Amino acid sequence: MMSREQNDRLTRVGPGQPAGRLLRRYWQPVALAEEFDDERVGARPVRAVRLLGEDFVLFRDERGRWGLLDRDCPHRGADLAYGRLEDGGLRCSFHGWLFDVQGRCLDTPGEPEGSRLCDRVRQRACPVTERAGVLWAWLGEGEPPAFPELDCFVAPDSHVFAFKGLWACNWLQSLEVGIDPAHASFLHRFFEDETPGEASYGRQFRGASSESGNLPMTKLLREYHRPEIFVEPAPHGLQLTALRRISDSVTHVRMTNQVFPQAFAIPLSDEMTITQFHVPVDDYNNYWYALFTSFGAPVDKALMREQRLKLHELPDYRPRVGRDNQYGFDPREQSTQTYTGMGSDINVHDQWACESQGPIQDRTREHLGTTDKAIIAYRRMLLKAIELVEQGGTPPMCLRASEAAAVRGPVIVDAVGPGGSVDELRAFGSGIDARRRARAPWSAAARAGAAR
């Protein structure tokens, strides 16, 4: 069990809160780039955003520069999210005060000619950069860190698709479901198996295990529900290995990752991975930002967007299935088709599991088991990082530019392999990952092979 004080240290994200101070040391996703460009997702030039318990306005000026300013105008507090993009900045619709992307006041048109009031006014501005189809904001002080050379940041735009969704609960419990290898055998259990290759969006546990031949994941997860779980520190955070022993000579190997501070990286298929960030809106809500990275053909972004927009309400990307309609729960389905009775979309299953814990999970009442090894290791890492920041130190993954290339990958595998020790099976999985990486048209390994 955890004390209430410890729980607050890990979950509260506002300015001055321990976890809030830590997360402000990292670039944070603040919007999808397509929210400003694509009419299909309700594009608009100025957007209100809430991040880490603070309210901002996000815009792109006439020169294509991104700006993130405090949302309340420093004149008399009007909402800048309804401002006008003109004259090199964002103009408040109340009295016409104009601010550029750096927060400088450029014009106070109602003041007398020659007024120097502008020189005394500055709006807080935060740096914004675009990477992998996502806009990232830096809310910290000083120089922002470099991005690690993770696959999702190295692959070209043609091979990465980004999407997001809003969940009504704290960021930490949402992240923890992604580093829990045991839950798939229950939460995502199906009582009927599909033909390998039939899996579609939201049904990735309905097809065959990657690299497995004809073994349905549904059968594997249902019948082998006591995985051996191993957690090791890694340059990016934690590497998780879950082994399901099918026989003395056959083992299902799944290698996933926690990417510090607030992401996980998992397989979607033989040729695609997901790196998913859980970003606090405030203490009680979070957005997941999923970066889908293809190691094979370019991503069909139109199809992936269409699949997901059917399940999300714009402009907030709020799930259409949720607490208000009981997550689609059907007791008849629960008795014959699925473990949850909540349909075949595993994203809905995860959403229910996280939101049903309450706005902030009360960890003073939990009892952790051996399947929670990764969650325990991650919480320890998080607490240690919070303490480092409080002591003036540098937490993990706050990288200098010279360090970014050392954080690559990570290894992500779902395969059926031989028997053997965990070290032997990690090596087996790493070999599969290396071969996939070597085939990827955009990877350094593929380019090096083509040059030889």
Assign 398 a pLDDT band (cuts: 50, 70, 90).
very high
Any domain includes 12: no
Please compute, for residue 280, the number of CA atoms within 13 A of its CA located in the half-sphere on the CB side: 29
Assign 217 a pLDDT band (cuts: 50, 70, 90).
confident
Instruction: Examine the domain organization and report whether 170 and 124 are in the same domain.
Output: no
Average pLDDT over residues 174-186: 96
The last residue of one of the domains, among 72, 102, 137, is 137
The last residue of one of the domains, among 107, 137, 167, is 137
Instruction: Say if residues 134 and 289 touch (Cβ distance below 8 Å).
Output: yes
Instruction: Examine the domain organization and report whether 114 and 256 are in the same domain.
Output: no
Any domain includes 180: yes
Kindly state the tokens that stand for 404: 């970014």
Any domain includes 197: yes
Instruction: Examine the domain organization and report whether 92 and 190 are in the same domain.
Output: no
Any domain includes 68: yes
Instruction: Examine the domain organization and report whether 207 and 241 are in the same domain.
Output: yes
- Cα-Cα-Cα-Cα torsion 373, 379, 382, 387, nearest 10 degrees, comes to -120
Q: Which residues pair with 233 in a beta bridge?
A: 238
pLDDT of 309 > 60? The answer is: yes
What is the identity of the amino acid at 212? Answer: S
pLDDT of 199 > 70? The answer is: no
pLDDT of 452 > 50? The answer is: no
Assign 215 a pLDDT band (cuts: 50, 70, 90).
confident
Give the CATH number, domain containing residue 99. Answer: 2.102.10.10
Domain ranges, residue 66:
27-137
Instruction: Say if residues 118 and 106 touch (Cβ distance below 8 Å).
Output: yes
Instruction: Examine the domain organization and report whether 33 and 162 are in the same domain.
Output: no
Instruction: Examine the domain organization and report whether 284 and 166 are in the same domain.
Output: yes
The reported pTM is: 0.93
Instruction: Examine the domain organization and report whether 122 and 159 are in the same domain.
Output: no
The count of domains in the chain is: 2
Average pLDDT over residues 431-444: 92
So what's the pLDDT on residue 330?
94
Average pLDDT over residues 273-290: 99
Instruction: Examine the domain organization and report whether 255 and 392 are in the same domain.
Output: yes
Instruction: Say if residues 163 and 309 touch (Cβ distance below 8 Å).
Output: no
The last residue of one of the domains, among 116, 137, 158, is 137
Instruction: Examine the domain organization and report whether 250 and 359 are in the same domain.
Output: yes
Helices (H) and strands (E) counted in the chain, each on its own, are 11, 23
- Tens digit of pLDDT for each residue in 329-346? 999 999 999 999 999 999
**Percentage of the chain modeled with pLDDT above 90:** 88
Instruction: Examine the domain organization and report whether 182 and 112 are in the same domain.
Output: no
Residue 349, number of CB atoms within 10 A of its CB = 25
Which is it for the CA torsion 50, 55, 60, 65, positive or negative?
negative
Instruction: Examine the domain organization and report whether 268 and 407 are in the same domain.
Output: yes
Instruction: Examine the domain organization and report whether 78 and 160 are in the same domain.
Output: no
What is the pairing mode between strands 149-150 and 408-409?
A: parallel
Any domain includes 278: yes
Any domain includes 19: no
pLDDT of 212 > 70? The answer is: no
Assign 187 a pLDDT band (cuts: 50, 70, 90).
very high
Which is it for the CA torsion 342, 199, 183, 232, positive or negative?
negative
So what's the pLDDT on residue 190?
93
- Tens digit of pLDDT for each residue in 74-109? 999 999 999 999 999 999 999 999 999 999 999 999
Question: Of the candidates 415, 417, 414, 409, which has an alpha carbon nearest to the alpha carbon of residue 434?
Answer: 409
